[in-house]
Structure 1
Amino acid sequence: MSTSVLGLARASHPEPTAAVTVVAGLLAWGVGHRPAGIAAVLLTVLASQLAVGWSNDLIDADRDATVGRTDKPLVSGGLRRPTLARAAVTAVVATPLIALTTGGAAALCVTLALVSALLYNWPLKSTPVSVLPYAISFGALPAFVVLALPGAPAPPVWLVAAAACLGAGAHFANVLPDLADDARTGVRGLPHRLGPAGSRAAAAGLLLAATVALVVGPPGPPSWVGLSAVAAAVLVPALGWYAGRAAAGSGGRPVAAFRAVMVVALIDVALLVANGRVS
């Protein structure tokens, strides 16, 4: 495998790219897509995630160099900017083209999600509305998956709202470990303005809202599994916050709160897939 291919793989933000793509595929299966439909959803979401990840590394290259992010291939020399720029443009163009195979409404929805995510990369990341692209893009994801299903009804409001809250909560949680590096390079999004404590509270509150929407939104009474998930969404962040304060007090790195909200996010993703059926 060539150095450029390896560099592109590393610059794609492989973990979140794989996670979002797999969740989209599982949701497509959950709402009743046939194999061809699942494949179209997977390819569309993969292209959009590659576009977002590659453009992010391209835009942030100077910032990453300033803080010594040698894990970034543009910083370490494992990838050239023109190569990454061409790859990003290709992925941006490919996303709506692939989505069109599932229908015009679905293609419009996923294009909205892509444009929103690209606007986060620049210029909204350093503004007080930095959370909005996360809410819009994540909310549009299940809407795209549902609209791509032939003959499916409109996406349920509770499903879109839950995904939007999940995305917004993930924004606050995702920024927590990088607050110091971001401060050095002038990034001043909403989490940075709220500070660590405010961001932890926002992440926990938004993820709790997503959990509640996923539990009470579908028809019928909430299951005991759903009610247990709501309890976990309350208790896990509280325990993580306590452990994080203890670690900070002893000189350690307070990552427990970040891990706690990630646990709740995983619970929400499982509920999202389990409760996604619309027909």
Structure 2
Amino acid sequence: MDAVDGAGAATTVVRWPGRAAGLALACHPGPVVAVTALACALGVGAGLSPARLALVGLAVLTGQLSVGWCNDAYDARRDARAGRRGKPVADGVVTVRAVWGAAAVAAVLCVPLSLACGFVAGTVHLAAVAAAWLYNLRLKATVLSWVPYAAGFAALPCLVTLSLPDAPWPRWWTVAAGALLGCAAHLGDTLPDIGADRAAGVRGLPHRLGATGTRLLLPVPLVAATAVLVLGPPGPVGVAGAGALVLAGAAALTGPVLGGPWRKAALAGAVAVAAADVALLLVRGTALS
């Protein structure tokens, strides 16, 4: 609903359903659900028992919740100064203290849940969660902003396979593809807010590249992930793999060719390649070394 301020300009008023809903939305539910679902899907493909699959899912869920709440709590003051609507903490629906408290509780729960998956598996996952917290608190505004994303996505297949009874490591292409997908996720997640973030003083890698540079770079790690998943496993490249490579190559050309008349073309192509990469990861990424 729009309201008119004293100068006659229309401003957007966000109506929140309640504090509980505001707290839930402050955790960044989209990424939380997506990453947790990906970990569970990898776990099913790896043959985890139902009990171990539940542990992996809960470990990832609590870790992602802690990261999401930490992000909104830490950025609350900057979001308020920038006038960003739709942020529960910045809008005053929930207090910064409440969100920090939720982040702390989720982080504490994540520790025993992760270690219950196995000491090595839990240590790898907790290191990834710690890297994500470090991103929120420091690395987001540096040229190393991509590192926590790469580490977090690379850790998912490690957590899954190391949770198996004999604790094997996943094959190298699974980890490499996860890291590349993490880099792409960072570029794609940051792209819509580059202007506002730069105005607020955030100088991560995408902000240094600018919107155009980030848009053109976005398909590169996705194409690389496709190549790793298709060419990494031994044996001939099948029809599905060849098709994925063609799709990835076509999407990589979308930005330079259509970036002028249709600025969302590169992002749309990247989403298509990311979907294909995730499908390949689920099919091939659960193989063990």
Deviations 1:17-66 (A, max 9, x none): 11111111000001111111211111111111101100000111012112
Shift in Å at residue 220 of structure 1?
2.3
Q: Partners in 2 of 1:95 and 1:241 — Cα distance? A: 43
Structure 2 CA distance for aligned equivalents of residues 241 and 68 of structure 1: 33
Give 1 or 2: higher helix fraction: 1
CA distance in 2, matches of 1:116, 1:271: 26
Contact 1:55 1:88 in 2 (8 A): yes
User: Number of matched residues?
Assistant: 272
Residue 234 of structure 1: aligned partner: 249
- The answer as to 2:65 corresponding to 1:20 is no
Query: Under a length normalisation based on structure 2, what TM-score does the superposition of the two structures give?
Result: 0.90
Tell me the CA shift for residue 139 of structure 1.
0.8
State how far apart, in whole Å, the 2-side matches of 1:88 and 1:163 are.
Answer: 25
- Aligned residues with identical type, % of pairs: 44
Tell me, in whole angstroms, the C-alpha distance in 1 between the residues paired with 2:181 and 2:53: 22
Matched, 1:224 2:239: yes
| 1:75 counterpart SS class | coil
Alignment of 1:128-207 (within 5 A): 128-207=143-222
Counterparts of 2:272 and 2:77 in 1: how far apart (Å)?
Answer: 32
Higher relative contact order (CA 8 A, sep 6+): 1
Q: Distance in 1 between matches of 2:96 and 2:273?
A: 37
Match of 2:110 in 1: 95
Q: TM-score normalised to the size of structure 1?
A: 0.93
Deviation of residue 221 (structure 1)? 1.9
Residue aligning to 1:275: 284
Cα deviation, residue 270, structure 1: 1.1
* CA distance in structure 2 between the partners assigned to 1:19 and 1:127 by the alignment: 26
Q: Which amino acid aligns with 2:70?
A: S
Amino acid in the other structure paired with 1:278? A
Q: Secondary structure at the match of 1:76?
A: coil
**For residues 20 and 69 of structure 1, what CA distance do their matches in structure 2 show?**
25
Which residue does 2:74 correspond to in 1? 59
Please say which structure displays the higher CA radius of gyration: 2
Deviations 1:109-143 (A, max 9, x none): 10011011111111000111111111111111111
